[in-house]
Structure 1
Amino acid sequence: MSIIDISEVKAGSHVTLHYRLALADGADIVNTFGDKPATLLIGAGQLAEPLEDILVGMKTGDHSTFRLAEGAGFGQRNPELIQRVSLATLRENGMIGEDFAPGDLIEFNAPSGGRYAGVLKEIGETSALFDFNHPLAGQALTFEVHIIGIL
């Protein structure tokens, strides 16, 4: 007699799964199907909350593909998150002199002690323009999931 795992994914579950996150055009962002599966703690922020919400209620063995509308996975793009940072501020934080180029993802220390990141868009004479939106904000995505085990 075998034991059948009938548990469902819920907040606090450790889930072992294969998953693929791709752009609408099919270009993979993350794909574990050809490698070792991932193990995630649901509710710990290891996946974006809307992606975790998709997993809730799934059972061991479930294999599904979800199409997420623009902005459904990582939010809509917010034009207020495109900001200029003075070169003086970058100097004060020891960030001038590093070899930055447009398109680079740059990490900053937050006043609260955490860290956040922005994509460098351009460098001018007195400031640099950064986009602090999540790189996948506003994108339509495909999220494929195969649940292997739930603890």
Structure 2
Amino acid sequence: MAQAKNGDKVRVHYTGTLEDGSIFDSSEKGADECSDDSCGCGGQAGAPMEFVIGEGHLIPKFEAAVIGLEPGQRVQVSIASEEAYGPRAEEMVAVIERSEIPGDINPEPGQQMEVILQDGSAMPVMVTEVTDTTVTLDANHPLAGQDLTFDIKLVEIL
């Protein structure tokens, strides 16, 4: 049977967990767990994830873990935060005056927003705290500073 190698287009199922064992993402979520796309599956709940090994669209250690697998085989890989989404950077957290938020937006903790930078590019941020006068925005990736473990099953090599 063929083994996955660099350059192969593959489909995998995966479940990602944090150090405490909680699941932060899974390709195997059922439709009943994702009625509004809040899981980020793009409407593909339960569908395997498809990617080309070596293109660099995923965490490199995740991609490397698939190399050598045959369809149906599983592997578990632990990825330190430095090799995943990096350490949390406190300089990526800003407290701004609530008056700087457009009046038609009512910020709430957990809400994702985009901030337009001076060069015109957009940066995604998460609202983490709201008071009567301030809003705290965090531009760190939600998994920054977290060590991750993935259980990966190679479904097929395309």
Which TM-score applies when normalising by structure 2? 0.71
Does the CA contact (< 8 Å) of 2:3 and 2:68 recur in 1?
A: no
1:106 equivalent in alignment to 2:116:
no
Q: How far 1:126 sits from its partner (Å)?
A: 5.5
In structure 2, the residue matched to 1:82 is 93
How many residue pairs match? The answer is 140
Compared CA separation, residues 84 and 54, structure 1 to 2 (3 A): farther
More moved, 134-143 vs 20-29: 20-29
Task: With the length of structure 1 as denominator, give the TM-score of the two structures.
Answer: 0.73
Give the SS at the match of 2:101.
helix
- Deviation of 1:146 after TM superposition, in Å, equals 0.9
Distance in 2 of aligned mates of 1:113 and 1:50:
32
Distance 1:122 1:146, change over 3 A: same
Q: CA deviation at 1:58?
A: 3.2
- Render the CA deviation track for 1:85-121: whole Å, top value 9, x for unaligned: 4445433xxxx32222122222334555654311112
Instruction: Tell me the residue number matched to 1:27.
Output: 22
Aligned CA distance change for structure 1 residues 104 and 50 (closer, same or farther; 3 Å): farther
Q: Structure 2 CA distance, aligned partners of 1:105 and 1:48?
A: 22
Aligned ranges 1:1-150 → 2 under 5 Å = 4-8=1-5, 10=6, 12-33=7-28, 35-42=46-53, 43=55, 45=57, 47-55=58-66, 57-61=67-71, 62-87=73-98, 89-91=100-102, 96-110=103-117, 114-124=121-131, 127-150=134-157
Mapped to 1, the partners of 2:9 and 2:117 lie a distance apart of 30
Deviating more after overlay: 76-85 vs 105-114? 105-114
CA distance in 1 between counterparts of 2:77 and 2:4 reads 21
Percentage identity across paired residues of the two chains: 24
Specify the code of the residue in structure 1 equivalent to 2:70. T
Unaligned runs of 5+ in 1: none
1:25-61 C-alpha deviation (Å, 9 max, x unpaired): 222122224622221234252x334433443x23323
Q: Check whether the contact 2:127–2:138 (CA below 8 A) recurs between aligned residues.
A: yes
